[in-house]
Amino acid sequence: MLQCILDTGGLQALITALWESGHQVLGPQVRDDAVVYARLREVAQLPAGIVDEQEGGRYRLHRTVIPEGVRPLFAHVVGPHSWKRFLHPPQEPLWRVEMDGQGLAIQPAEAKEARYAFFGVRACELAAMAIQDRVLKGGEHVDSAYLRRRQGLFTVAVNCTRAADTCFCVSMESGPAVKGDFDLQLTELTAGGEHRFLLEAGSEAGEKLLERLPGRAAEQAALDEKAALLAATARQMKRAMPAGAAELLADSLDSSHWESVAARCLHCGNCTSVCPTCFCTRTEERSALDGRSSERWRLQDSCFNEGFSYIHGGALRRSAAARYRQWITHKLLHWREQFGSAGCTGCGRCITWCPVGIDITEEVHRLAEAKA
Amino acid sequence: MSNVPADPMLPRPVRVLERRREMEGVVTLVLEGSPQEQDGFQPGQFNMLYAPGVGEVPISISGDPAEPAQLTHTIRSVGQVSHALTRLQPGDQLGVRGPFGTGWPLSDAAGSDLVVAAGGLGLAPLRPVLLAAAGNRSRFGRVVLYYGTRSPDTVLYSGELEAWRAAGIDVHVTVDRAAPGWKGEVGVVTQLMRAEHFDAGSAVALLCGPEIMMHFSAQTLSGLGIPQARIHLSMERNMNCGVGLCGHCQFGPRLVCRDGPVFSLEQVAPLMKIKEL
């Protein structure tokens, strides 16, 4: 694999080269006390020296203690945004119709040539993109707008050198080491007080770009440091999805435990909003007041909304218990049969951003206890 | 960008050729074909129908599979979109996507007895089966229709039942509540089902109607000896896309639009027992 070592100047050269090759570069930045993904032009915009404290229903940013004077750029983990915000946006127009009295003229929404470069994609997020790929472009019918954005995408992945307390990617086999489909991967190294980045190519496009950057050869010590950091991150992980969660859920559809979750769940849908794999959408008609034209839009939807399961006569899943059961059984059980893998990557966002701190790993533990 | 297939969310404009009022609030629309319709449809499949400026709903195809250039749908006005669809007149245009989903397993039934059980408007997705059977009677063994509906004035396709009888289909109709002049059966549809009407050892059963009606019909037909693998049901769930992308029609591990709407009882019997799934 083609690899090199960059300093922060080299990192800037990478960002600049991505813009110059026609990509819109998006990366992590602090906004409103959270790390979110936004347009990235300068290394200086990255969340230098920031760590995110995460727990059920809790998210706080702190300045890190700076060992040996290095302010790490990637010591944070994942925030409320995920890349689905760009690949599978919360709302987008599908088509427009003109009604002139003679008939209908239906025009697809303008296909925007979005060429994104995602800078700072974590292992769990690569896994999430692979999951959404199977849903949105892996079947007989393909979401063409998603496919177009996916085809234009360049990914710079980042290995996690720290785990948040809500992370459980090790148990979902999705991290912390970057694997799968990426163009470049970065590992932030700080040993000896020297701030540098190990850059490794994962695709032909990645190799071509890497060759143009002002890097120096990667020494064995850098590769060893990367391996040690990833092993430490894996050891840091406090949460785990219990083994056999799918079988347990299949056996728990009529469990009385769902009522106990329902007593806490506000069915606000936050977990589905922040989840990097939740893909459900609804369509909406936006018609002009004069009745001569109308637009069809696709909007993010959530299985926690009562209207989600509406058929004439009313909603099928009226109780909060049934809606939470739908969400968790979809993630960990039914997704497998529908799309060939689980729908969870262990990123922990649903735990952090649940206003009452409901924890997907904890609920599986409790179901197991209820069964025992 | 390379290789982006046609957008499955984009409807094509189609004109209404004919509008038939079936009963209060129920209309059958016959739509003109377009080149795509020449590919035909499987009885049991559905289209997404778009009422201009209002919205889109899934509607089963109820036309004759021998005339694939025409798309026929029977629509009950139950919401904003279906109401707008039932108000369309000949010459008006609407949007059509599909056909989507799985069809009734008619090739498995060839040579065997065919048991068709329908409740209320559930007869609509089974009409293509009955038309196919009536048009090619030697394709199946005995063909029996059990049809239950609320009252004599809600018998769907009442003008066609005699023609199906004349074509050699054993038609049984029952209503929940009789009215003056009704000489037929009164009671639930399962009361019509008799072992002597079909050979349970080889018969294929096709069911469509309210979930509770399908549940009891499946139970009765199983009891009469038809195995679960040869009993098929058409399921209904909320659908926004019709093509497996929106997540609304999940029924446990199944997506009704993609894996259904026609399922074997073997596939769905365990799921039907779970409340609010």
What is the ipTM score, two decimals? 0.93
What is the chain A residue with the closest CA to B5? A144
Task: Mark whether B44 and B140 lie in a shared domain.
Answer: no
Which residue among B100, B128, B157 closes a domain?
Answer: B100
For B41-77, write each residue's pLDDT tens digit: 999 999 999 999 999 999 999 999 998 888 999 999 9
Residues of A in contact with B8 (CB under 8 A): 141-142, 144
What does the pLDDT read at residue B1? 43
B276 to A317: CB separation less than 8 angstroms, yes or no: yes
Residues B190 and B267 reside in one and the same domain: yes
Query: CB contacts < 8 Å between A and B, how many?
Result: 139
Contact partners, residue A369, CB within 8 Å, separation at least 6: none
Shared domain check, B110 and B180: yes
Based on the fold, state whether residues A24 and A152 are members of the same structural domain. Answer: yes
Q: Are B168 and B51 in a shared domain? A: no
**CB contact burial A111-149 (16+ within 10 A = b; e otherwise):** eeebbbbbbbbbbbbbbbbbbbbbbbbebebbbbbbbbb
What is the predicted pLDDT for the residue at B36? Answer: 60
The answer to whether residues B160 and B244 belong to one domain is yes
Indicate if the pLDDT at residue A127 is higher than 70. yes
Nearest residue of B to residue A293 by CA position? B53
The DSSP element (H or E) to which A87 belongs, if any, is helix A84-87
- Domain CATH code at residue B48: 2.40.30.10
Q: Determine whether the interchain pair B53/A113 forms a contact, defined as Cβ–Cβ distance below 8 Å.
A: no
Contacts with B13 from chain A: Cβ below 8 Å = 103-106
| B6 domain residue, yes or no | no
- Domain check: are A216 and A112 in the same one? yes
Together in a domain, B168 and B74: no
Residue B112 placed within a domain: yes
- Same domain for B122 and B250, yes or no, is yes
Of A103, A152, A321, the CB nearest to B13: A103
Is residue B263 one of the residues assigned to a domain? yes
3-class DSSP assignment, residue A94:
strand
Domain boundary among A181, A207, A236: A236
Query: What is the gyration radius of the CA atoms in chain A, in angstroms?
Result: 22
Residue A67 has pLDDT above 70, yes or no: no
pLDDT tops 70 at residue A254: yes
**List of chain A residues whose C-beta atoms are within 8 Å of the C-beta of residue B7:** 94-95, 108, 144-145
Residues B253 and B236 occupy one common structural domain = yes
Domain edge (last residue) among B48, B72, B100: B100
Q: Does residue B71 belong to any structural domain of this protein? A: yes
Question: What are the φ/ψ torsions at residue A260 (nearest 5 degrees)?
Answer: -70, -35
Residues A222 and A264 in one domain: no
Boundary-marking domain end, from A236, A258, A281 = A236
Which chain B residue shows the shortest CA-CA distance from A113?
B1
3-state secondary structure at position B235: coil
- Domain with A257, as residue range(s), is 245-371
Neighbours of B156 (CB within 10 A): 22
- Considering the domain architecture, whether residues A218 and A292 belong to the same structural domain is answered as no
Final residue before a domain boundary, out of B36, B69, B100? B100
Domain presence at residue B165: yes
In a domain, B36, yes or no: yes
Domains in chain B: how many in total? 2
Instruction: Check whether residue B80 and residue B203 sit in a common domain.
Output: no
Same domain, B244 and B138: yes
Domain with B38 in it: 12-100
Tally of domains within chain A:
2
Instruction: Categorize the per-residue pLDDT at A69 as very low, low, confident or very high, splitting at 50, 70 and 90.
Output: confident
Indicate if B83 and B212 belong to the same structural domain.
Answer: no
Q: CB distance from A147 to chain B under 8 Å?
A: yes
Q: Give me the CATH number covering residue B153.
A: 3.40.50.80
Provide the whole-model pTM. 0.95
Examine residue B63 and state whether it is found in any structural domain, yes or no: yes
Print pLDDT tens along chain B (277 aa). 456 778 999 999 999 999 999 999 999 999 987 666 556 899 999 999 999 999 999 999 999 999 888 899 999 999 999 999 999 999 999 999 999 999 999 999 999 999 999 999 999 999 999 999 999 999 999 999 999 999 999 999 999 999 999 999 999 999 999 999 999 999 999 999 999 999 999 999 999 999 999 999 999 999 999 999 999 999 999 999 999 999 999 999 999 999 999 999 999 999 999 999 9
Same domain, yes or no: B143 and B46: no
Co-location of A146 and A273 in the same domain? no
Residue A63, burial from CB neighbour count under 10 angstroms (0-12, 13-18, 19+): exposed
The residue among A236, A268, A293 that closes a domain is A236
Which of A88, A112, A144, A329 would best serve as a mutation to test chain B binding (most B beta carbons within 10 A)? A144
Amino acid B228 reads: Q
Q: What is the dihedral of CA A16, A21, A26, A29, to 10 degrees?
A: 0
Task: Judge whether B117 and B209 are in contact, CB under 8 Å.
Answer: yes
Cβ–Cβ below 8 Å for A254 and B2: no
Of A141, A152, A318, the CB nearest to B243: A141
Looking at the domain assignment, is residue B7 inside a domain?
no
Confidence tier at A240 by pLDDT (50, 70, 90):
very high
A227 and A326 both lie in a single domain: no
